[in-house]
Homo-oligomer: A and B are copies of this chain.
Amino acid sequence: MATIGDVARIAGVSRSTASYALSGKRAISEEVRERVAAAVRELGYTPNAGARALATSQTMVIGLLAQFMEDEFAPAMLQYILGVSNTARELGYDILLVTEEDGTRALRRITDSRMVDGIVLLNVAEDDDRLPILRAASQPGALVGLPADCTGVDVFDLDFEEAGRLMVERLHRLGHRELILVSQPEHVVERGGAYVWRLQNAAVEQAQNRGITLHAVFGSSGQPEVGQQLHAMLDAHPEATGLLINNEAAAAALPTVLHSRGLTAPEDLSVIGRYSDEFARTFSLPFSSVESAPDRLGRMAVRQLVRRIEHSGAATEPHVVRFVSPEFVDRGSVASPRPTSPRHGGRP
């Protein structure tokens, strides 16, 4: 492989001149610039990334820590990863993807060895083990997900409280008076998935404020359990006219459940989910939803991270905690409840 020494020799200049000609960091005569460019072309020269990293202390790589938990719905993760990866590339960075079980060890490894210029943490728990390590690292970090303690990192998340309120408020305004909310599995909450109760608590509170009934339940993250739970909830609350879904697996299972009960949305039941548009397309979900914007969150996290990496002034700027407002995407599954409740349809 050609080195910058080869380029310099062929161009008839010193290595420093060749380097400057390529980086443009100092004035170079037109003639020399062209000789260097020709040599580069001739040799197919590309700088050695390791050598450059050693000399500049910049790797142009961002570490992406993603954990695939048993109790989380894997396809939903993919969109965050793609949002991060694509944005990073646009800004000139590559992605070191770490899916190791032991996130703390992995994080220490890639930061201590300086393989990366910054870190994006996905799947952040309320009290995340990885955060102390990230704070101690010399590279900046950006999170997707809200921990209890946000010091020292930039944080991006959906405004789950607002999402919970929005879901309840929409249905209340249309005249619904009894709702069911299916959340993520309780394991997720126990592990510290704060977003589950952030949405749920806000929904419960909003329901109280409006004087309506909300039955909240933790759903499973997989089939067939989650389908059975949906049936059970619908059996248990025949007067409920609205269904709120903060659980990807439940959303994916719902069409089959409704179908098998002979129910149609919104005629028999109004439904609002919380997932991304991409997710809705993949699973062809016909339900209106609160957009969870994984690509946008990934993009925001990377942009802020790169600002901190590149703009030395940004290192001292205060860290941000930024919430994306939930947007309601209308897919026609929400309407006023029919005057003659209760619902028809039962478990087949």
| A contacts, CB < 8 Å to B | 1, 44, 46-51, 53-54, 59, 61, 64, 68, 73-75, 77-78, 81-82, 85-86, 89, 94-100, 108-110, 112-115, 138, 222-224, 227, 252-253, 255-256, 259-260, 281-284
Contacts and interface: CB of A to CB of B under 8 A. Distances in A.
Given A94-B98, A97-B85, A97-B95, A281 B49 contact: no
A111 to B, nearest CB: 9
What's the number of copies of this chain in the assembled complex? 2
A49 B97 contact: no
B94 A110 contact: yes
Closest 3 A/B residue pairs (Cβ): A223-B284, A46-B112, A50-B53
Nearest to A260: B259
18 contacts: A1-B114, A46-B112, A48-B114, A49-B50, A49-B114, A50-B59, A50-B114, A61-B96, A61-B115, A74-B282, A75-B75, A75-B282, A77-B78, A81-B97, A85-B97, A89-B98, A89-B99, A89-B100
A56 B255 CA distance: 56
A89 B64 CA distance: 14
**Which of A50, A138, A227 has most B Cβ within 10 Å?**
A50
Contacts of A1: 112, 114, 138
Contact of A48 (B54, B227, B260): B54
A78 B108 CA distance: 25
A36 B144 CA distance: 39
A134 to B, nearest CB: 15
Contacts of A49: 50, 113-115
B99 A96 contact: no
Given A54-B51, A74-B78, A97-B97, A253 B86 contact: no
B114 A94 contact: no
Contacts of A113: 46-49
A288 B266 CA distance: 34
Nearest to A112: B46
Contacts of A53: 50
A291 B62 CA distance: 35
Nearest to A110: B94
B282 A73 contact: yes
Nearest to A227: B284
B94 A94 contact: no
A13 B222 CA distance: 57
Contact of A96 (B50, B54, B96, B227): B96
A281 B44 contact: no
A251 to B, nearest CB: 12
A94 B115 contact: yes
B223 A281 contact: yes
Given A46-B113, A113-B47, A282-B74, A95 B96 contact: yes
A220 to B, nearest CB: 11
Contacts of A73: 282
Nearest to A76: B75
A282 B70 CA distance: 11
B112 A44 contact: yes
Contacts of A112: 1, 44, 46
Contacts of A227: 284
A54 B46 contact: no
